[in-house]
Structure 1
Amino acid sequence: MTSMTTNQPARSLSPTVRVQRLAFLIFERPDLDLAVRFLVDFGLEVCFRSDDLVLLRGVGSAPYCYRLQRGRKACFVGLGFEVASSAELAHVANAVPGASDVEPISDHAGGHRVILTDPSGFRVEIVHGQACEPALANRDALPLNINGGSVRIDAPQRPPVQPPEILRLGHVVLEVADFQRTSGWYCEHLGLVPSDVLLLPDGSPAVAFMRLDLRAQPADHHSLALAQGFAPLYSHSAYEVVDTDAIGMGQRVLHERGWKHAWGVGRHILGSQIFDYWRDPWGDKHEHYCDGDLYTIDRPTGFHPATRDAMSQWGQKMPPSFTKPKLSLSAIIALIRNLRRSPDLSLRKLVTLARLFG
């Protein structure tokens, strides 16, 4: 695909810091029991619980990847990134406008954090020094007899019928009205690098898939993706599982337990993940995935036209319901407000986005 010239998010040569890991997501829910029931069926493990807080983890050594806080209504609050040193944490506190002071974290993992707010209003916690946990037992990827190979002899495939073990949090996708300012903030202050950008017919960006800058160490194709929308909204989050059988078993278990399917199974084009999406009790999408692309810092940014066909290589095409926004009075008010104030948003652009993805 040919590159197009426009004011894209671009890697910063000297960012404030280069974050090392997408550490956790923060949600508020009015019913913690119901939220936990879905997440455990999805494959996460509860590692801490109080009346107003639940922390959930995968099987890796990260202390947790999902923070549930009791709230009056269901909403996505923000995300956390880890930095490599206390000096970098102090630098964030001093260098990023609006940053909090460095403060201790009161949950069981400990460590310290700086609280930021991105240009779209999402809470961003930069953390260091959280205690690692012992990894939990999980099955290996199943050996496959493929392409004439005979690696599995006298050994039938019998993966357990249970929720798939979540290896780790992979990425989160957010919709924003102020696309340029928000994507530039993550590149300038956190060192994120755009891996691929989807472009609208006028050359403006529709989606930017951004990875961590780990230099020569391979990083996920994206840890954060930002999509042009009419308001700051959560789109989905993704959690890695060990193989395609784990994705298939997850689909069976979640179907049998009555949860709502959103899209899949298929394989993405940008990022290449094999995916399956599910909705939690409030309609928020959660993705099982495996076999995602890994890029080093040497990989240049790719620019591609935004189309519905750019979403998957095989499997069901993305259904219109996948990107349909939740209509509410607050959403309509946000739409009108952002049409008036956001330099990245126009009625024409919204019509184009609805035609391409609606």
Structure 2
Amino acid sequence: MKTKAAVLTQTNQSLEIEELEIPTLKEGQVLVKIAFSGVCHSQLNEVRGLKGVDNFLPHTLGHEGSGIVQEVGPGVKKVTEGNTVILTWIKGNGFDIPSTTYRRNDGSVVNSGAISTFMNYAVVSENRVIPVSNEHSLRELPLLGCAIPTGAGIVFNTAKINKGETVAVFGVGGVGLSAIIGARLREAKSIIAIDIFNHKLELARNLGATHTINFKEQDIAACLNEITHNAGLDFSIEASGNRKAMELAFNSIRTGGGLCVIAGNLPAGETISINPIELIKGKQIVGSWGGETQPDKDIPIYLNLYKTGKLKLNSLITQTYKLEEINQALDELEKGMLGRGLIEMT
């Protein structure tokens, strides 16, 4: 059996759509027919070579999606053939099978991790799939595989933001917008969206931001001081992967307990600078790994919020592409044109 897949053969080059032979399933693996895949900044960083030396070339990509189980390998108990599933890069329950390989028509190998979604059919590890009812829209489910668990998860699990508190989100792409939604659900008093694109700031306001600031056009520190009456933020969330934004996010929180959460990725080798005296004064800075999400416990919670209309996933989706348009999707993501883009498999 064969699949079409977007393959990264060399960093800083376009992905190539190739036909690959699907391997026989090993213990703990699941074959999924992919319906939709999200396009995340992580894949853009991989393609552009910003994560450093890539030792796994050539390889497949994609880490959030939706689809239908076609076959299960030995020992798999979490899902069965015909189940609708959400695919997520965040490890859940079940077998953890870290890698697999596909073969080109000439016999050469294409590597893959525990999950890939830029393809029609994908072999994934059991612990990267979450079974859900088939009543749900396959189009919207991919957002529950990365964007929502990471962004809203930072609000719910990492920062534990409460009613009446203040938070600024630096960078309102898929993860940042999800953090805005999470802060609204937690009834934060001031929810401040910060970005360089006005159309994304408008989307953030529609999703719950109480204030918006253009990073290029306005004085961030002055604006935040005005909003917080010089008290500083209770929380800041950095989701842009920009060094200056990370430093501003930390500097903007209040002394005596303010928390800065870093979710964005800097290019390999790049670092940030903070003044240790600010730590002594009680400012805190932490990173977040997927919003500290436990997929088998947390994704059903987000799914219920979606079912009850409190989590409007469709509002995050700004463009849908075909697999053959994957390079266009990455280019438009890089240009700041997307909230969350989707790849529809046909």
The TM-score bracket by the shorter chain reads under 0.3
TM-score (norm 1): 0.22
More helix by share: 2
